[in-house]
């Protein structure tokens, strides 16, 4: 079964998505997510101009060989553009293999290890009152684990904090603005470090000791500041503290790890196993945050998680709305198949996105499930996709109060 055609679909149902569509000589269609937030067209070009011509005529069943061919064969290894492109090819070929076999992809990965994947929701508020409302709405929606982000006194808009909602109100928080240049936000690490422990103290007092609570520091701290934050949050028993430092300084995590028992999650911007080598072998983190889309696809993330399993490190795959429903489905197949699953992030896509991508995964009683359709279980409506034209959109950037550019 040969690959007959390879198309790249860029669509923007409220936010931008890049999808690879691989069609075989037997007419089987596979989908892959190649969305790289704010740099979407670079991946689209990489796929259209440099990958599609190499794929046509190849054996569609040879997923591993194709992965190695694109990774080793490019000469230029790693990097988010390359790895998102390879990931999309990999996902599409797994989708095809599942459809040909008549099995959902998780069955091809070894079958089910659990009933479903525990999901966590995003709750936020500029004040404690607004935050509590947001947590309650998520609990009412069935979530059993909650990420908590809040405004910081003295700062304006803080990344990861959506607009304040009324009780029961739901909306799609979209951090990437449809703007020609990124919005600039300001940041004060001292104010943040003083404020966050008081927030978790209040949340624990209101919602009790058992609710799994997570927090994302968005790469903004030094190792020493991370150690301070981890320690000050220990009484509130977090499920994890995410991206305390920019993780590319892997050795920096030694300092954090030796100073706090707060569990650590890192890796949503990593592109593969080598970014984790020290973090995993020295057990400096507890959770791998990669998305299937940005870390080389199902094949690569499966290997990464097998490596992590040797060190008792679990998954906590990235699942924001800039991972498309195809990337989300790929994560869910891995979530139910691998032994060392931890938790899955779940930001629900808006209704326009779900018009373009017809999903079959489900969310019931706090658990996500990829469903039983052959392949990944997501269909792309090309007509709907064409009705949403690409619109440039960028994540905000972040400056210290004196104007210095800070870590994102
Ligand atoms: C966040 C994301 O989900 C998360 O943990 O860090 O919202 C992230 O900022 C975006 O996916 C960036 O593209
Ligand atoms: Mg994050």
The string of DSSP codes covering 325-369 is HHHHHHHHHHHHH-TT--EEE-PPPPHHHHHHEE---EEETTEEE
Residue nearest to atom 6 of ligand 1 (CA): 218
CATH number for the domain that contains residue 49: 3.30.390.10
User: Do 213 and 356 sit in the same domain of this protein?
Assistant: yes
Say what the pLDDT of residue 157 is. 86
Single residue among 59, 82, 104 that ends a domain in this structure: 104
Say what the pLDDT of residue 381 is. 98
Residue of 15, 320, 345 to test ligand 1 pocket, by largest number of atoms within 8 Å of CB: 320
Give distance in angstroms: CA of 176 to centre of ligand 1.
Answer: 10
Give distance in angstroms: CA of 268 to centre of ligand 2.
Answer: 6
Ligand 1 pocket residue status of 320, Cβ below 6 Å: yes
Say what the pLDDT of residue 105 is. 99
Residue pair 144/366 in contact (Cβ under 8 Å)? The answer is: yes
Say what the pLDDT of residue 286 is. 98
* Cβ-Cβ contacts under 8 Å for 59 (sequence gap 6 or more): 1, 2, 3, 65
User: Do 157 and 206 sit in the same domain of this protein?
Assistant: yes
Please report whether residue 407 resides in a domain: no
Single residue among 86, 104, 122 that ends a domain in this structure: 104
Domain count, the chain: 2
Ligand 1 pocket residue status of 345, Cβ below 6 Å: yes
User: Do 98 and 188 sit in the same domain of this protein?
Assistant: no
How many C-beta neighbours within 10 Å does residue 318 have?
26
Bridge partner residues of 54 (DSSP): none
Say what the pLDDT of residue 274 is. 97
User: Do 231 and 286 sit in the same domain of this protein?
Assistant: yes
Ligand 1 pocket residue status of 37, Cβ below 6 Å: yes
Ligand 1 pocket residue status of 267, Cβ below 6 Å: no
Please report whether residue 10 resides in a domain: yes
User: Do 286 and 340 sit in the same domain of this protein?
Assistant: yes
The atom of ligand 1 lying closest to the CA of 318 is 3
The atom of ligand 1 lying closest to the CA of 216 is 5
User: Do 100 and 124 sit in the same domain of this protein?
Assistant: no
Residue nearest to atom 1 of ligand 1 (CA): 320
Residue nearest to atom 7 of ligand 1 (CA): 320
306: domain range? 108-372
Cα distance between residue 99 and residue 104, in whole Å = 8
With CA atoms as reference, report the closest residue to 385 among 349, 353, 348, 350.
353
CATH number for the domain that contains residue 294: 3.20.20.120
At residue 316, φ and ψ (nearest 5 deg) are -155, 65
Please report whether residue 377 resides in a domain: no
Give the pTM. Answer: 0.97
User: Do 156 and 281 sit in the same domain of this protein?
Assistant: yes
Across 22-45, b (16+ Cβ under 10 Å) vs e yields bbbeeebbbbbbbbbbeebeebbe
Q: Closest-lying ligand to the alpha carbon of 242?
A: 2
Give distance in angstroms: CA of 320 to centre of ligand 1.
Answer: 6
Say what the pLDDT of residue 220 is. 96
Residue nearest to atom 2 of ligand 1 (CA): 320
Single residue among 77, 104, 131 that ends a domain in this structure: 104
Please report whether residue 151 resides in a domain: yes
Q: What is the longest distance spanned by two Cα atoms in the chain?
A: 61
Q: Which two tokens stand for residue 162?
A: 């959506």
Please report whether residue 403 resides in a domain: no
Cα distance between residue 95 and residue 117, in whole Å = 20
Ligand 1 pocket residue status of 90, Cβ below 6 Å: no
User: Do 183 and 329 sit in the same domain of this protein?
Assistant: yes
Helices in 116-164 by DSSP H: which ranges?
A: 128-140
Residues classed as catalytic? 159, 218
pLDDT digits (tens, 9 = 90+) for 17-27: 999 999 999 99
Bridge partner residues of 344 (DSSP): 119, 317
Say what the pLDDT of residue 169 is. 86
Please report whether residue 394 resides in a domain: no
Residue that the structure tokens 């029961």 belong to:
168
How many C-beta neighbours within 10 Å does residue 56 have?
13
User: Do 13 and 121 sit in the same domain of this protein?
Assistant: no
Residue nearest to atom 10 of ligand 1 (CA): 320
How many C-beta neighbours within 10 Å does residue 383 have?
8
The atom of ligand 1 lying closest to the CA of 323 is 11
User: Do 91 and 119 sit in the same domain of this protein?
Assistant: no
Say what the pLDDT of residue 283 is. 98
User: Do 90 and 27 sit in the same domain of this protein?
Assistant: yes
Q: Is the dihedral of CA 180, 39, 389, 332 positive or negative?
A: negative
Where residue 160 falls (left for φ over 0; alpha for ψ -120 to 50; beta otherwise) is: left
Cα distance between residue 84 and residue 271, in whole Å = 8
Residue of 34, 158, 175 to test ligand 1 pocket, by largest number of atoms within 8 Å of CB: 175
pLDDT in tens, the chain (408 residues): 999 999 999 999 999 999 999 999 999 999 999 999 999 999 999 999 999 999 999 999 999 999 999 999 999 999 999 999 999 999 999 999 999 999 999 999 999 999 999 999 999 999 999 999 999 999 999 999 999 999 999 888 888 888 888 888 887 778 888 889 999 999 999 999 999 999 999 999 999 999 999 999 999 999 999 999 999 999 999 999 999 999 889 999 999 999 999 999 999 999 999 999 999 999 999 999 999 999 999 999 999 999 999 999 999 999 999 999 999 999 999 999 999 999 999 999 999 999 999 999 999 999 999 999 999 999 999 999 999 999 999 999 999 999 999 987
Rounded to 10°, the helix 189-207/128-140 angle is 50
* Cβ-Cβ contacts under 8 Å for 144 (sequence gap 6 or more): 118, 119, 211, 212, 365, 366
Please report whether residue 379 resides in a domain: no
Say what the pLDDT of residue 18 is. 98
Please report whether residue 83 resides in a domain: yes
Give distance in angstroms: CA of 326 to centre of ligand 1.
Answer: 17
Residue nearest to atom 12 of ligand 1 (CA): 37
Cα distance between residue 229 and residue 231, in whole Å = 5
Residue pair 145/214 in contact (Cβ under 8 Å)? The answer is: yes
User: Do 198 and 313 sit in the same domain of this protein?
Assistant: yes
Bridge partner residues of 33 (DSSP): 19
């Amino acid at each position: 079964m040969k690959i007959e055609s390879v198309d790249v679909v860029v669509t923007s149902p409220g936010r931008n998505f890049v999808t690879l569509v691989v069609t075989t000589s037997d007419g089987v269609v596979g989908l892959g997510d190649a969305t790289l937030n704010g740099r979407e067209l670079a991946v689209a070009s990489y796929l259209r101009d440099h990958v599609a011509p190499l794929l046509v005529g190849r054996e569609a069943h040879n997923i591993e060989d194709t992965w190695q061919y694109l990774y080793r064969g490019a000469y230029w290894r790693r990097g988010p553009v390359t790895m998102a492109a390879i990931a999309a090819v990999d996902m599409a070929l797994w989708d095809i293999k599942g459809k040909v076999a008549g099995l959902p992809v998780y069955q091809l990965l070894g079958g089910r290890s659990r009933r479903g994947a525990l999901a966590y929701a995003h709750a936020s508020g500029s004040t404690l009152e607004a935050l509590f409302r947001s947590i309650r709405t998520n609990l009412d929606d069935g979530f059993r684990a909650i990420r908590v982000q809040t405004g910081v006194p003295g700062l304006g808009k803080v990344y990861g904090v959506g607009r304040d909602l009324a009780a029961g109100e739901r909306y799609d928080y979209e951090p990437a603005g449809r703007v020609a240049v990124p919005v600039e936000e300001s940041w004060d690490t001292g104010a943040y470090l003083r404020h966050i422990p008081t927030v978790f103290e209040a949340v624990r007092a209101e919602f009790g000791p058992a609710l799994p609570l997570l927090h994302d520091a968005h790469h903004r701290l030094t190792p020493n500041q991370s150690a301070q934050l981890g320690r000050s949050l220990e009484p509130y028993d977090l499920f994890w503290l995410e991206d305390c430092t920019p993780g590319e300084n892997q050795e920096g995590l030694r300092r954090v790890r030796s100073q706090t028992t707060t569990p650590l999650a890192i890796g949503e911007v990593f592109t593969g196993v080598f970014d984790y080598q020290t973090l995993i072998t020295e057990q400096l983190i507890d959770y791998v945050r990669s998305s299937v889309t940005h870390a080389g696809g199902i094949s690569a993330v499966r290997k990464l998680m097998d490596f992590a399993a040797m060190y008792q490190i679990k998954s906590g795959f990235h699942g924001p709305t800039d991972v498309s429903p195809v990337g989300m489905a790929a994560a869910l197949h891995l979530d139910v198949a691998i032994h060392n699953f931890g938790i899955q992030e779940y930001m629900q896509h808006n209704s326009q996105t779900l018009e373009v991508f017809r999903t079959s995964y489900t969310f019931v009683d706090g658990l996500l499930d990829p469903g039983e359709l052959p392949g990944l279980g997501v269909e792309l409506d090309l007509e709907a996709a064409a009705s949403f034209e690409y619109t440039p959109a960028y994540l905000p950037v972040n400056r210290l109060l004196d104007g210095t550019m800070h870590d994102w």
